[in-house]
Amino acid sequence: MQIPLSWLKEFVEIDVPVELLAEMLTKAGLEVSHLHYIGLPQTKVEGVRYPQSDHLVWDRERLLLGAIREVKPHPNADRLVLAMVDYGGAELEQCVTGAPNLFEFKGLGVLPHPLWTAFAAEGAEVWDGHSDTPKRMTLKGKELRGIYNKSMVCSDKELGIAEDHDGVILLREQPRTAHGQPHAPGTPLADVLGDVVLTVELTPNLARAWSVLGVAREIAALLDKDLRQPSHQVIMDGAPINGQVFCEIRQPALNPRFTLMLLRDATIQPSPEWMQWRLKLCGQRPINNIVDVTNYITFEIGQPLHAFDYDQLVARVGGQAPTIITRLPEAGETLETLDQVNRELQGENILVCDTAGVLSLGGIIGGAETEISATTRNVLLEAANWHFINIRRTMQQHKVFTDAGVRFSRGVHPSQAILGVQRGMELMRQTAGGQVAKGVLDLYPQPLPMVQLDLPIREIERITGIAMEATTAADYLSRLGFDVTIEGPVLHVTVPDHRMDIGTGVIGQADLIEEIMRVMGYDAIPTTLLDDLLPEQRNNDALQWEEITRDLLVGLGLRENISYRFTTPDREQALIAPNGRDLNAHMDYVQIANPISPEKSVLRKTLLAGLLDNVRANLRYQSLQRVFEIGSVYFARPDQELPDEPRRLAIVFAGARQATNWSIKTSEDVDFYDLKGVIEGVLRGLHIPKFSFTRARHPSLHPGRSAALLIGDLNVGAFGELHPVIARRFDLADVPVMIAEFDLDLILGAVNGLHHIQPLPITPAILEDIALIVKEEVNAADLERLIWQTGGPLLKDVRLFDVYRGPQLGEGQKSLAFSLTYQTDEKTLNDAEVAAIRKKVVKAAEKQFGAVLRSI
Amino acid sequence: MLDQLETLREEALAALQMISDSASLQAWEGQYIGRKGALTQLLRGMGGLSPEERPIFGKTANEVKQILTAAHDERQQLIQDRELAQDLEQGEIDITLPGRTAQIGGLHPSTQVLRRFYQIWGDMGFQVYRTRDVETDDMNFTMLNFPPHHPARDMQDTFYTTQPDVILRTHTSAGQIRAMWEYGDHGTKPIRVVLPGMCYRFEQITARSEVQFHQIEGIAIGKNIRMTDLKGTITEFAKRMFHPKAGVRFRASYFPFTEPSMEVDVECCVCGGKGCNLCKYSGWLEIAGCGMIHPVVLQNGGYDPAEWSGFAFGMGPERTAMLKHRITDIRYFWANDQRFLGQF
């Protein structure tokens, strides 16, 4: 909301710089996000930081109020005129200007009433009106088509008021001071039009402050000043309203109050310049006097108004006095609203109707048929009140968000309707003439009860920690308009009738405490550290082991990714190779009902699609990629409202095994065993005792180069080389890619935080290498397992250190070389004892795998 | 024979004088005093001597060997010293060549900042309590004093799922009631927890807003928890997270689930409060929303608001990382561009 400081000053005395005022409002919860200076200088306030503004400060000597007495034609140019300006000097100043809004006065001789304008004398600094980007310029004398010119009349843009450069500022009425004294020509312009417009951001609970009066009320409380209420006296000299219009409320819960007044013989014309000026500063385009008054009142006191063309209402019912009815729609009813949309009305849309049909969507937007037009003579003015939640729901249903609707949706108190209709009607009478029908048609069937509650003073201390005198608390509340009486340690509080946000009982007490703190100022609250009983402290094992897993992966050289949890079924379907079985197919996606974009339509069921996309993008910058992600996937559950959200760990390796540089000129590609080594590293780091690997059929993996990870008998996921078809789909066909995805909950479920260590040996070990020739199809792990099984208790370690194939071994043969460690704490072993064990091992290998001992 | 010994001695010592490198010294050693050297050869000829001459010859030969060995060792020391000196002087490499790249991993910046949060809050007795991403409308809104269709819901644009009343949580406050139920034991025990997690909002993705982002929520409930504690605790946190001397500002604000509610700003870490691009020339950076837990929420969590009180706060790890590391575009976080991640 934009609010001119000059308008605020109509309601409250402001004796602090606007920068300090902005800081105070911000701290009290009315965030002032911007100060738009119009000609006035910025004030430095100690302790207040405010963005330095680069606005134009109006030169008090050279930017003056001018009065154009005559507009003469330019002798040499049709598109220029000569404005003869009285700026308080001895003679009129001749300004050459091309302002189009002066042309209608050209050649009329001396004007009967001068046109008031902004006059800039030589040397004045203004914005360049012809520049697209903000650019300052200083006025210098020069010839314009043969006429010497050293001053100008200014547009909004040149003065930094608004972006308009369609013409110069022209006022037909002589500007006046706040006290009604006319400003003389030559008065510094800053004293006439200088202002500061505050942009105030309001949270939804601040409906009461959504107006100039509302903000002024907050200022009055903060500065401890009196609030000057606007007058709502109306001069009513027409016939009584009774009999000219009737009214009926059918849904008092949705439409608590409805008020009407009638103005006859109004003249539709532009509204007065002071009103247009204010509306413009508030960001509202002026339209005509009737519509402008409805907007003006909305800004001023926060009560939206709606004006009907009374004669149209009469015509709709065949010349009778109309009856306004507020009700819910009948089946199939529609309404064409002011924005030319034909709307199908729904269930709880509260409507303003007459006996002939629907007139407007109550509290939100009017109908096209009965709106004010240039030929309107008689105006029926509505100020009503609507239930805020119903208004919000209706706006969302129809996707129409008007100033009036948004205000009502935040909660306007019904008491404001009567003020609004009276003040609005009087302003219409003053600006459009005519006679106001006597009386207000005011339907308020179930007046809201006055809210009264008690606040024990100790409750303030219990919640805030501040011991406060009852009188102090009462003072803060009364500054905001609360009526407070003190009885011992208790405040009896009556809530003022502009507020809907104060509850009763313990909730109301919290509401009041907040108000007391706001007025006192949050700066004044001291700081303490918690000295309450420390609650029971707990570990979070799931998180702790998840973080340890991250640390292990980082230690192994992997970089963590965090991806969008949104994806599409198509993207994840791309991970299923032809004829592959989607392992997640039996679980449904969590589908987003209102996706922000088509590629974010569901929550992911796998981390792999996102990681592969990341790797693809990053291969542009580095030929080596090792990344992981730990995070949730989401499976809808048919039997439960909320989905399952298990944790997954995914890893992707792509490209080279090693980074190359000046010394390491080439690198081999990553392969299955690079990935397997990292997985083993993580499992060892987590001290998971019993893990093993088995061949896997996984829809995303190369069938020959993939494995499943087993912990005990539990399959916790698979890893291996990305299936070549899928690599093509992810545009990764040109690099080797290894992937893994595991159920992290299952892995971490196997973690036992108390693993036991092996004591260090006290005797020397005997190391021995043996190489066994076996057929190609024998798995190294199977041979290793056999060695372990036959080696007996003295065998302490078995490590494969070489795999060799060569012509001397013959086709289809390979040699697997193992390093064996023998040791016992009981004695130092000798060669004979070791030889005996080796013999047993070799014999078993011969028997089971047809192995031949190649060398020792 | 003794003459030959004398000649050998003189010849060997003369030759040794000429030697200046380890290889020649080794050759000299072989030639004169090694197993097949000249001295050994002479000793083998000792059989031709008379029994009287033998001990004299043997004694002299031994003396010659000792002299030559001593001379050799002396020479060796000299040569080694010289060679060492030479190596130290001349063995320079180009130390400006880059090192061989080690494979370096790294944590995502959000994880790093979250851990910092866990640590600071953990020190103050707040433990991590995690809850789900996909929540009921009830937990995310209604129980937190956002009634259905209430205008406060306009503050948080929501992703809905196709399951009625199931949404993606818009804030980690959605876990407050679950934490109170689980740890509060029907409103009989104090609690202090922080709730981290991913949150989701229906917002256009821009440099300043994302559809998903982390939040970390904290709640403390007890019989003696006051607004002064909230202010002190948050100030303490800000000093540890940002700067020990960081100025902190509290502003009134509105959240349906706290009252009184506040927003917290710290002095801009870039300009120190003078005003810059990051703080939009205000000198302040918003870091948290907080307040005293609303009586309705306490009630929904099982506590009697006339007896118990508490505070709650919410912060954004990505926003915190942006402020600390001057990240100007929130979209960097989920793009996973290694040129960004590699800087953490």
Please check whether residue A620 touches B, CB under 8 A: no
Q: Determine the straight-line distance between the first and last CA of chain B, rounded to whole angstroms.
A: 83
Phi and psi at A312, nearest 5°, equal -65, -40
Angle formed at CA A311 by CA A308 and CA A316, multiple of 5 degrees = 90
Contacts of B152 in chain A (CB under 8 A): 204-205
Q: What is the pLDDT of residue A109?
A: 92
Average pLDDT over chain A reads 93
Q: Which of B134, B252, B259 sits opposite A27 (nearest CB)?
A: B252
Phi and psi at A786, nearest 5°, equal -65, -40
Interface touch B115/A547, C-beta < 8 Å = yes
Check pLDDT > 80 for residue B273.
no
3-class DSSP state for residue A39? Answer: strand
Angle formed at CA B332 by CA B329 and CA B338, multiple of 5 degrees = 140
Q: Which amino acid is at B39?
A: L
Interface touch B227/A632, C-beta < 8 Å = no
* CA distance linking residue B336 with residue B339, whole number of Å: 8
Region B298-316: what's the mean pLDDT? 97
Interface touch B275/A51, C-beta < 8 Å = yes
B87 CA to chain A: closest CA distance, Å?
A: 23
Please report, for chain B, the start and end positions of each structural domain, with discontinuous segments joined by +. 2-90, 109-341
Please check whether residue A557 touches B, CB under 8 A: yes
A690 CA to chain B: closest CA distance, Å?
A: 27
Which of these, A518, A529, A508, A464, lies nearest to B309 by C-alpha position?
A464
A809 and A817 in contact (C-beta within 8 Å)?
A: no
Largest CA distance in chain B: 129
Check pLDDT > 80 for residue B79.
yes
Q: What is the pLDDT of residue A413?
A: 94
Which of these, B126, B209, B215, lies nearest to B174 by C-alpha position?
B215
Check pLDDT > 80 for residue B276.
no
Supply the DSSP symbol for A240: B
Which of these, A346, A396, A400, lies nearest to B150 by C-alpha position?
A396
A692 and A710 in contact (C-beta within 8 Å)?
A: yes
Interface touch A537/B127, C-beta < 8 Å = yes
Is residue B245 very low, low, confident or very high in pLDDT (cuts 50, 70, 90)?
confident
* CA distance linking residue B139 with residue B148, whole number of Å: 12
Per-residue pLDDT of B168-184, as tens digits, reads 999 999 999 999 999 99
Please check whether residue A594 touches B, CB under 8 A: yes
Contacts of A565 in chain B (CB under 8 A): 133, 198, 200, 212
Interface touch B151/A204, C-beta < 8 Å = yes
Which residues are bridge partners to B161 per DSSP? Answer: A592
Burial class (CB in 10 A: 0-12, 13-18, 19+), A130: exposed
B85 CA to chain A: closest CA distance, Å?
A: 29
| Residue-by-residue DSSP string for A287-316 | --HHHHHHHHHHHHHS---EEEEHHHHHHH
A838 CA to chain B: closest CA distance, Å?
A: 39
The two tokens of residue A154 are: 């200014």
Interface touch B107/A659, C-beta < 8 Å = no
* CA distance linking residue A234 with residue B176, whole number of Å: 53
Which of these, A612, A582, A588, A587, lies nearest to A698 by C-alpha position?
A582
Which of these, A101, A156, A91, lies nearest to A129 by C-alpha position?
A156
Q: Which of A411, A529, A556 sits opposite B233 (nearest CB)?
A: A529
A392 and A258 in contact (C-beta within 8 Å)?
A: no
Residues near B250 by beta carbon (within 8 Å), at least 6 away in sequence = A27, A522, A523, A525, B231, B234, B262, B263, B264, B265
Q: Which of B128, B227, B250 sits opposite A540 (nearest CB)?
A: B128
Which residue ranges in chain A fall short of pLDDT 70? none
* CA distance linking residue A249 with residue A801, whole number of Å: 92
A703 and A580 in contact (C-beta within 8 Å)?
A: no
Contacts of B280 in chain A (CB under 8 A): 51
A639 CA to chain B: closest CA distance, Å?
A: 12
Check pLDDT > 90 for residue B315.
yes
* CA distance linking residue A157 with residue A169, whole number of Å: 10
Which residue in A has a C-alpha nearest to residue B196's C-alpha? A543
Q: How many CB atoms lie within 10 A of CB B138?
A: 16
The two tokens of residue A22 are: 């902005």
Region B203-220: what's the mean pLDDT? 94
The β-bridge relationship of strands A435-436 and A257-264 is antiparallel
Q: Which of A553, A562, A592 sits opposite B334 (nearest CB)?
A: A562
Region B299-318: what's the mean pLDDT? 97
Which of these, A158, A170, A140, A165, lies nearest to A55 by C-alpha position?
A158
Please check whether residue A639 touches B, CB under 8 A: no
Contacts of B118 in chain A (CB under 8 A): 543
Burial class (CB in 10 A: 0-12, 13-18, 19+), B36: exposed
Helical packing angle, A470-479 and A212-223, nearest 10°: 150
Contacts of A592 in chain B (CB under 8 A): 159-162, 168
Phi and psi at A642, nearest 5°, equal -105, 150
Contacts of B264 in chain A (CB under 8 A): none
Per-residue pLDDT of B39-49, as tens digits, reads 888 888 887 88
* CA distance linking residue B313 with residue B303, whole number of Å: 18
Taken as a whole, chain A contains a residue count of 856
Q: Which of A559, A622, A662 sits opposite B105 (nearest CB)?
A: A559
Report the side by side order of strands in the sheet with A490-494: A452-456, A490-494, A483-487
B90 CA to chain A: closest CA distance, Å?
A: 22
Interface touch B222/A511, C-beta < 8 Å = no
* Rounded percentage of chain B residues whose pLDDT exceeds 70: 100
The two tokens of residue A136 are: 């300052």
Which residue in A has a C-alpha nearest to residue B279's C-alpha? A51
B237 and B120 in contact (C-beta within 8 Å)?
A: yes
B84 CA to chain A: closest CA distance, Å?
A: 27
Check pLDDT > 80 for residue B269.
no
Interface touch A529/B132, C-beta < 8 Å = no
Burial class (CB in 10 A: 0-12, 13-18, 19+), A91: exposed
Which residue in B has a C-alpha nearest to residue A638's C-alpha? B163
Please check whether residue A531 touches B, CB under 8 A: yes
ipTM of predicted assembly, 2 dp: 0.88
* CA distance linking residue A415 with residue A612, whole number of Å: 62
Q: What is the pLDDT of residue A687?
A: 95
Q: Which of B101, B166, B191 sits opposite A659 (nearest CB)?
A: B101
B25 CA to chain A: closest CA distance, Å?
A: 37
Interface touch A661/B161, C-beta < 8 Å = no
Residues near A91 by beta carbon (within 8 Å), at least 6 away in sequence = none
Taken as a whole, chain B contains a residue count of 344
Interface touch A559/B284, C-beta < 8 Å = no
Contacts of B301 in chain A (CB under 8 A): none
Q: Which of B100, B203, B334 sits opposite A563 (nearest CB)?
A: B334
Interface touch B166/A50, C-beta < 8 Å = no
Residues 394-453 of A with CB under 8 A from B: 409-411
Contacts of A627 in chain B (CB under 8 A): 336
Per-residue pLDDT of B81-96, as tens digits, reads 988 888 888 878 888 9
Write the CATH number of the domain with boundaries B109-341: 3.30.930.10
Please check whether residue A464 touches B, CB under 8 A: yes
Q: What is the pLDDT of residue B154?
A: 81
Interface touch A525/B227, C-beta < 8 Å = yes
Interface touch A532/B224, C-beta < 8 Å = yes
Interface touch B337/A618, C-beta < 8 Å = yes
Interface touch A617/B337, C-beta < 8 Å = yes
Residues near A607 by beta carbon (within 8 Å), at least 6 away in sequence = A563, A629, A631, A633, A648, A649, A650, A741
Hey, of B206, B292, B336, which one would you mutate to test binding to chain A, going by the most A CBs within 10 A of its CB?
Answer: B336
Interface touch A465/B106, C-beta < 8 Å = no
User: Which contiguous run of DSSP H or E holds residue B249?
Assistant: strand B248-255
Burial class (CB in 10 A: 0-12, 13-18, 19+), A328: middle
Count CB pairs under 8 A between chains A and B: 283
Check pLDDT > 80 for residue B277.
no
Half-sphere exposure of A7 (CA within 13 A, CB side): 25
Q: How many CB atoms lie within 10 A of CB A473?
A: 24
Question: Between the CA of residue A599 and those of A570, A596, A609, A702, what are the distances in Å?
Answer: 9, 8, 12, 28
Q: Which amino acid is at A345?
A: L
